[in-house]
Structures are given as C-alpha cells and as structure tokens.
C-alpha cells in the first residue's frame, strides 16, 4: 500500500475546521470524532473519495459504509425515509442510532457494497456535524482504523493505526460512548430488526415504533455484502489472542502464567496488587463506563507484550452488555484461514 505523508492532528479551531471541510468538499478524506468512535470520512456522493477510504483502511468491498447526515432533509437525499424511520429519527437523532433504508439513486455503489439499501445516521458530536455543515456533504465514515483492528476512540489511536495512510485527523477528545451505534434494519418497516447492538436498546426502539423489533442475532454474512457494517465474524480484534470467560473470579489470576493478562469488567477485590489484572470500570460503576473504556483498554493490553488476554463478558442483557459482549466476541473470533 502506498503511504501518505505522516498524518497531522488538527485542533478544532475555526480555521482548521474550514480547512478540513474544504478537504472533504474537494474529494479528500479526514478522520474525525463522533460520539461513538472516530470515523474516516469522505463525501458520500463521491465514489473516488469513498474508494480512498476503503484503500486507507484495507476494508473489503462487501462491508458497506454508514452515511452521516446533518438533517432529515439531507437524509432524504441519501435514503428513502419511511414513517418508521421518521419516528426513530425524531426520538434518537442526533445520536448513536443507524437506520438501514432503501437508498436513493445518487448514492455510489461503493458506499453500499452494491446493495439497494444504505445505512444512515445523524451523529451527535458537534465537530462531526460541523464538518458536514461546512463541507455541504453527507459523509460516509467507517471507523478510522486499519480494517478488523480495535476501533479508535481518540485522535492518537487514529494516528497510531493510519498515520502513514492519511493526512488529516481532527481532534475532538475521547469518544463519549466508546462503542459503535445501534443499527436497525428498516428496509421493511413492518419487520424491523436489530443488525448490531449498541447503546440504544431494542426495548426502547419498540416503545417508539409501537411494534416488535426482532432481536439481534449474531449472523456473519457469507461471501455476499452485509446490509450494515460490523457484522463480520471477526472484527475489533487485538493482535494478541483473546479468550472470553463468562465470569472471572480474582482467583483466576493464580492459574495464569506471568505473560497472560486478565481484563475484568469491574475492578476486582484482590488481596494484593496484580500487574496482569486490568478492568474496564471501578467497582460499582455502570456499564456506560465499561463501554467507554473498552477499546482503549484493549489497545493498552495489545501493546503490553502479553501472550494471551483473558476477558470477562459483561453481565446481564442490557443494551450496553450486549454491545460490549458483541465486540468482545468478534474480537476473540478465530482468524479465517487464507
């Protein structure tokens, strides 16, 4: 892969925002913060720009992009908006909810992996929305990391992964939520279904829609295009082998070699400090903290020289527990044979 000059991280000044918006409007690509994770953005109407996103990430063509919009009117330029979509947009936009809908003819096939549907959302992060506004472009943006690796939640994460492949990174601080958006399939609004779990629960979506929403089932697409991103069997993966454990007891540490690390959901009560013990949240913190820290902590562990990481699954069936466990399960999936 050809490399670009080393990426520069830009502070969110008015001058820099104008510069980066012009880059996007001119067919360039820019890494920028959303409230979920950092995205690698391009004009969703520009097939050449979107192909550059795929190249920079090393992303396969059967994994479509999410198009980010700044208004329901702009969403209507990208997708065919049905009544169910309007209800959910009114309730949850701007925010971490992606809708899969029939696409409008002007959306390039590279964005949708050749499908006649498109995934869209309105992000809540003010800087990403300002880039949409200033550039005048709906922005197609997957996570700003090499394909399959741990999603980035800071500008430094983006530079670590793509620093030699892209030129522009907008720093908006750490991502607030830390896991990607909930995705709901509304191609047939009478049969809505969760395609990817996130911070917005199925039960809340059902309340707004006034109908049942099919629960998320972890189905990996075969060799055809997936209707939404984040559905591949292996994803969000550290390079260090990851083993999942339903519930970790502090005594689990005594069974391990010195070069094995343990990732607890909440801080364990240990009789003495253990240098191989890590956790996502302090004791008593809600899962919102664990979700916020998930990808950041996986990156720390992956750079720690460990031979193996043992990770505890989040307890319960809340939206965030499902989202955390989905990301961990995909991160732990065995690599496909070449």
CATH no. for residue 157?
A: 3.90.870.10
pLDDT at 74: 97
pLDDT at 220: 58
Residue 24 has pLDDT above 70, yes or no: yes
- With cut-offs at 50, 70 and 90, classify the pLDDT of residue 231: confident
pLDDT at 219: 65
Domain annotation covers residue 306: yes
Domain annotation covers residue 231: no
Domain annotation covers residue 338: no
Are both 114 and 197 inside the same structural domain? yes
Are both 299 and 154 inside the same structural domain? no
Are both 101 and 43 inside the same structural domain? yes
Q: Which of 209, 233, 263 is the last residue of a domain?
A: 209
Name the phi and psi angles at 78, rounded to 5.
-105, -40
* pLDDT tens readout for residues 47-85: 999 999 999 999 999 999 999 999 999 999 999 999 999
pLDDT at 332: 94
Distances (CA, A) of 251 to 185, 203, 248, 262: 43, 36, 8, 11
pLDDT at 1: 47
Are both 76 and 154 inside the same structural domain? yes
Are both 25 and 67 inside the same structural domain? yes
Domain annotation covers residue 227: no
Average pLDDT over residues 288-296: 97
* pLDDT tens readout for residues 128-182: 999 999 999 999 999 999 999 999 999 999 999 999 999 999 999 999 999 999 9
Domain annotation covers residue 224: no
Residue 46 has pLDDT above 90, yes or no: yes
Are both 67 and 185 inside the same structural domain? yes
Domain annotation covers residue 138: yes
Are both 12 and 150 inside the same structural domain? yes
Domain annotation covers residue 220: no
pLDDT at 336: 41
Average pLDDT over residues 298-326: 96
- Residue tagged 């050449």 (tokens): 48
Give this prediction's pTM. 0.94
When divided into structural domains, the chain yields a total of 2
- With cut-offs at 50, 70 and 90, classify the pLDDT of residue 5: low
- With cut-offs at 50, 70 and 90, classify the pLDDT of residue 2: low
Distances (CA, A) of 200 to 149, 196, 203, 317: 24, 10, 9, 12
Buried b (16+ CB within 10 A) or exposed e, 63-102: bbbbbbbbbeebbbbbbbbbebbebbbeebbbbbbbbbbe
pLDDT at 148: 92
Are both 177 and 251 inside the same structural domain? no
Domain annotation covers residue 79: yes
Alpha-carbon distance 6 to 164, whole Å?
Answer: 5
Average pLDDT over residues 191-217: 96
Structural domain boundaries, residue 160: 8-209
Are both 201 and 325 inside the same structural domain? no
The share of the chain scoring above pLDDT 90, in percent, equals 84
Are both 204 and 247 inside the same structural domain? no
Q: Chain-wide mean pLDDT for the chain?
A: 93
Are both 144 and 51 inside the same structural domain? yes
Residue 40 has pLDDT above 80, yes or no: yes
């Amino acid at each position: 892969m050809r490399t670009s000059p080393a990426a520069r991280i830009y502070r969110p000044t008015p001058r820099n925002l104008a510069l980066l918006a012009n880059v996007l409007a001119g067919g360039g690509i820019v890494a920028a913060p959303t409230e979920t994770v950092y995205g690698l953005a391009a004009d969703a109407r520009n097939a050449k720009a979107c192909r550059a996103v795929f190249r920079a990430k090393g992303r396969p063509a059967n994994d479509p992009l999410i198009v980010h919009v700044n208004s329901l009117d702009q969403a209507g330029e990208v997708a065919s908006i049905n009544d169910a979509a309007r209800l959910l947009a009114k309730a949850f936009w701007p925010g971490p909810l992606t809708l899969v809908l029939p696409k409008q003819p002007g959306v390039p096939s590279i964005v949708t992996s050749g499908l006649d549907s498109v995934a869209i959302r309105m992000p809540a992060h003010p800087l990403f929305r300002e880039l949409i506004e200033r550039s005048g472009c709906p922005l197609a943006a997957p996570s700003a990391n090499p394909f399959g690796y741990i999603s980035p939640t800071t500008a430094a994460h983006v530079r670590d992964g793509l620093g030699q492949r892209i030129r522009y990174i907008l720093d908006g601080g750490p991502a607030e939520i830390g896991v990607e958006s909930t995705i709901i399939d509304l191609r047939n609004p009478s049969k809505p279904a969760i395609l990817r779990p996130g911070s917005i629960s199925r039960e809340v979506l059902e309340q707004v829609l006034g109908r049942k929403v099919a629960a998320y089932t972890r189905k990996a697409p075969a060799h055809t295009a997936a209707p939404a991103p984040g559905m591949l069997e292996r994803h969000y993966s550290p390079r260090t082998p990851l083993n999942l454990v339903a519930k970790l007891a502090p005594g689990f540490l005594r069974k391990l070699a010195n070069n094995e690390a343990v990732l607890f959901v909440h801080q364990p009560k240990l009789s003495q400090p253990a240098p191989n013990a890590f956790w996502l949240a302090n004791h008593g913190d809600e899962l919102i903290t664990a979700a916020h820290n998930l990808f950041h902590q996986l990156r720390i562990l992956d750079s720690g020289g460990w031979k193996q990481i043992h990770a505890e699954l989040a307890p319960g069936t809340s939206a965030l527990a499902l989202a955390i466990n989905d990301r961990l399960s995909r991160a732990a999936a065995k690599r496909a044979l070449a």
